[in-house]
Amino acid sequence: MSNLPPRRLPWEVLLLIVKEADPSTLAVLGRVSYDFLAATAPDLYRSVTVESLDSLKKLFCQREVKPEEGRRTRSSPPASRINLLLSLSQIQTLSITLDSFPMTTRLSPSRLVEATSIPLATLHLSLPHSIRGKVDSLDRHLLPLLNPVRCHWNILRRPFKGTRWVTIGRSSLAGWTRLEQVDLKGGLPWSEPREGLRLAALPPPSLARRRVVRLHVASLFCLASPDLRCALDDIAGRDILYGLDTMQAGSLVLVVGSEEEKRETEEVVRTFGEIEPWRRVFAVAVEVEL
């Protein structure tokens, strides 16, 4: 860039400095080099990780200014330009990991207008099982504004004997229109739009649109054959919720951890009579957990 001295620091080093800087340092950089931050904003927010409710609010919520804070005195520091440069539409990968979610949490007002959505490439959601019944703010103010192509749900700390189903939304989270693939681990999130129950955020059923649902078997069901048959029976009994009738062949993928498990699972799928109307929908894939 024209305002940067040539041959001082490699571009990768400059970008790393900005990415790793604390908020106060970023504020200084913003005042010193507006053009630099403007040029790097897309890279800064291409991949965003949120690990606390406080960070979630800073990213998506406007700061509510009290009346007495409305006038800045001469001794007050100038406002940071960082928020002016933050472009949520630049985010491609968003990872949200919340260990807890208090009942009193409020996420409004949003920095986005209701008609705007963030067209993410990938969304990672890691939420505690105890979030059941506590996600009204997420459901109303945040999740409907996201529109990913791929989504990874990871339900944390589900009790061994607890239900696999976790209530996420009632009406707002009716479906992400761009969603092509969803990975489910630890629990099965469901929502209740007007047209009936379905896995959370799946778009409306359509034979013309391919959507892949990947169930990570080890975290959802026991791999032992009798238990896996019970799992398949559960899926067959909830065919409307999964949308089995509108899925294309191979679109419901059972993800296992080894080739041996894959062979055992394929045999169960091939011989289990209760899934006969939808057998073509099932596929088995190996994915080794790191």
Q: What is the largest CA-CA distance in the chain?
A: 77
Label residue 258 by pLDDT band (50, 70, 90).
Answer: very high
- On the question of pLDDT at 142 being above 90, the answer is no
For residues 167 and 287, the model is more confident at 287
Task: Tell me the C-alpha distance between 89 and 71, whole Å.
Answer: 31
- Which contiguous run of DSSP H or E holds residue 35? helix 34-44
CA distance readout (Å), 261 to 24, 62, 227, 233: 51, 49, 13, 19
Helix ranges restricted to H, 70-223: 82-85, 136-137, 217-220
| Predicted pLDDT of residue 84 | 42
Per DSSP, the three-state class of 270 is: helix
- On the question of pLDDT at 85 being above 60, the answer is no
For residues 19 and 176, the model is more confident at 176
Q: Locate 125 and state its tokens.
A: 């959601």
Q: Which residues contact 99 (CB under 8 A, 6 or more apart)?
A: 128, 156
Helix ranges restricted to H, 100-200: 136-137
Task: Tell me the C-alpha distance between 251 and 287, whole Å.
Answer: 16
What integer best gives the mean pLDDT of the chain? 75
- Where is average pLDDT lowest: 153-167, 178-192, 227-241? 153-167
**For range 242-255, the mean pLDDT:** 90
Task: Tell me the C-alpha distance between 125 and 151, whole Å.
Answer: 8
- Which contiguous run of DSSP H or E holds residue 256? strand 252-256
**For range 2-7, the mean pLDDT:** 46
Determine if the pTM surpasses 0.85: no
**pLDDT tens digits along 172-211:** 555 688 889 999 998 888 776 666 667 777 776 666 778 8
